[in-house]
Structure 1
């Protein structure tokens, strides 16, 4: 039986993370930073990942981590989602860490890299598109070899040769990475960011930077062979998809709370607009959606934490449901704020863009629904 309730430890962790983000990375701070070259708040990652120890929650104590579980990491992501915080937590502390944990017993380089990730001193990013799902083959689906523009890309060693260079577009948080985990046909490689070309792209969600990553064959340290690499990458992406549901939950909760606050304060005809029946019904329906999203997200985090054999199914259910709830909550937030919700000065657009980006991240709702059908042996109609 899944435990969907928050423990006292998880509540304490939530309070600490929320306090840090309120002090250092509030919405007004982010609104000012997204117009700069980097949305990352200086010093925030060190405080969150290193000083607070959040980066090592999934890493065993013997490897320098906190020895916690996906449940605690889910709480951190809920708070990061509430604040739409630009931080490589999902990509480094969850996806890359889980990928390396799958190899830690057999690969000394992977174990060594994990120790750096656990302290927050190293940021690693799996070099796959943000839209990569756990159900694709990393050896063939994520890497484009010999693309036309790679011939003109500048790398640390000179011009890239289309015959040997590989390029992946839409890699989240690659601009913040110290190490890139690159899936290739013959295995998984750890490539220092200085040996790759990382070209920033313009994303919809300005709080989660995307980049085009070009690496040359022969660069980096081989961490695993092809079979082990496929299993490790799937594990990383599955954990990322499961905990992304918690980020979407936190984002949707903020949208509802902010909307309720605004409609209580905003008056028309001498009455709070939140007292109008039509708006009350819309917010009540959104609250019901949030209750379901919380149950789905918590079930996914608990299944990953306990190593449940039903984890793939639970994760797919959580993503198929929570991604839609987050988008709907953000849309309602913008609409029910009226004119101010349409402006750049109000943070509602940060939530909407993050929700739309998350809707495609780590597999669309449709991909997860297809996975549910396959896992329960319920094929779609011909």
Structure 2
């Protein structure tokens, strides 16, 4: 159902999403590229899952991450690995690789046979690469290498990897059936594998939400050779839900039956170190505010027409990856880290109630919690580790197909 929907609306949906991203963050080419390098792979995953290729997409993305990270560390201080802005680990461009990977994936699934829509997706990937050169984050060579790696990760014949990915999905799905929550750390793979299975009837529900979000205090540790050196302290965080950029989220839920479904959820939350924490540690900046982004895949359960008429309670549990915008400067003279990174896994849980206005539109309110493991690189050769637990009270609207 999702696949056929994208087929019918592919050009307008992709063009609309790309233009929306560009409009929201104009005139900053860098921020537009930052968003497209997330939007394109997420759309690619949704279309791959709807086409029965979810597990192979994830397997190839894992390979892509290895192909990006390995030369960044292996090339060390060689000139080819230096960024124009003076940073290190620049070869290849991870933004461009991820955007190209997602765009090529879209051309193989939802956009197959639609040349104009394929062109929009590939141009969006190209714009991502151009934004990295304009921002001084990468050289043209690093961007071209990223695009090539992203294309090869989708285009190469990797029969063995694809077969292994499908088997892993099946094995994880069976293990989840036996041991439940103990294996939620691999729900990202399990959810995509089960989403690829055939179903007699399904409903797609798109949900958009905002709300009030905060974060628990937690320990922060690491080292910054350009600033304070080694550090280890307890930080308190402010959420500032409605300050720019605001807290928000988007979720797609594929209800396989009236009761059970799978969801793909993107949440843009935030965490600012409090003024007290900055004063006590000497840090100039410590925040994840553009934002503390999380993508999760998980399982949803609802109770239709059983308790409260048009009101339907539901719960969900998922796991995925965190890719925050890391903004850290440990002292006034230290090198400032400012950019998006994939920092580790996360788990998320939610419970709420939706109210049906009619057959298509629903209002909902919910509680959502997320626990993210963050292992970030600091410019200048440092690192920062922390775990952030956020709580949110969400309200929003859903559209069902």
* Shorter-normalised TM range: under 0.3
Higher fraction of helix: 1
**TM score, norm. by length of structure 1:** 0.25
Higher fraction of strand: 2
More RCO (CA 8 Å, sep 6+): 1
